[in-house]
Amino acid sequence: MLDFSPEEKPLILQVGGDDPKALADCARIAEDWDYDGINLNVGCPSNRVQSGNFGACLMAEPERVARAVEAMRAASSLPVSVKHRIGIDDRDRYEDMESFVRTVAAAGCQYFSVHARKAWLQGLDPKQNRTVPPLRYEDVHRLKQSMPELFIEINGGFLNLDQAENQLGDVDAVMIGRAAYDTPYLFAEADARFYHWPEPPRDRAQWRRPCSLTSTPGLAEG
């Protein structure tokens, strides 16, 4: 299940857990498999995840997350990132999130992916937790302003590249989630738009043709 094709890189492995030793083992495995980074999930609010004491409930235990990050960094040379919410339940003030991030950053984490919704650990299912709590982009922007030395990525509600581009003056990166599998073709223009790739994107008909997997990275010849 860890296998992947070279065309998928750069690729980050996301893991969940609360045991620093086990997560350190995960980091070593990720490096052995030649992933480009490892990400700790501190954002999932499902009951199943909570029963294992990981995911969003760990926002209430920043010191534990910090110990996990420290162990993962010591176990491999991969960059360690943390994906989290802006808050959980009644711990949803901006100050609560900033305190969490500062504690984890002190352990050496420099990369944070922030879902701009709080999570209710009881009363909402995972699907509702992706839509019912209101988006608070301004809290993520404020986090970047407060800690400009950190790499801050924003997540939540972005459906196209225009919306993503509008965020890039306030944060370092934008995560597009559900739209990535609902409308994967929207990424066809991303290389040209953001990374100045010289070739025009192929249209949908071209993408349906058989492709060579040995062509120039980023493009496949029909």
| pLDDT bracket for residue 126 (50, 70, 90) | confident
Does the domain spanning 6-182 belong to CATH 3.20.20.70?
yes
Catalytic residue numbers read 44
- Summary mean pLDDT of the chain: 91
For 154, phi then psi, to 5°, come to: -105, 145
For residue 81, give the 3-state DSSP assignment.
strand
Q: Is the pLDDT of residue 218 over 50?
A: no
Q: What pTM value is reported for the model? A: 0.88
Within the chain, residue ranges assigned H as helices are: 20-32, 47-51, 62-75, 94-105, 126-129, 137-146, 161-167, 178-182, 190-195, 204-207
What tens digit of pLDDT does each residue of 73-97 get? Answer: 999 999 999 999 999 999 999 999 9
| Number of C-beta neighbours around residue 146 at 10 A | 13
Please report, rounded to a whole number, the percentage of residues in the chain having pLDDT higher than 90. 73
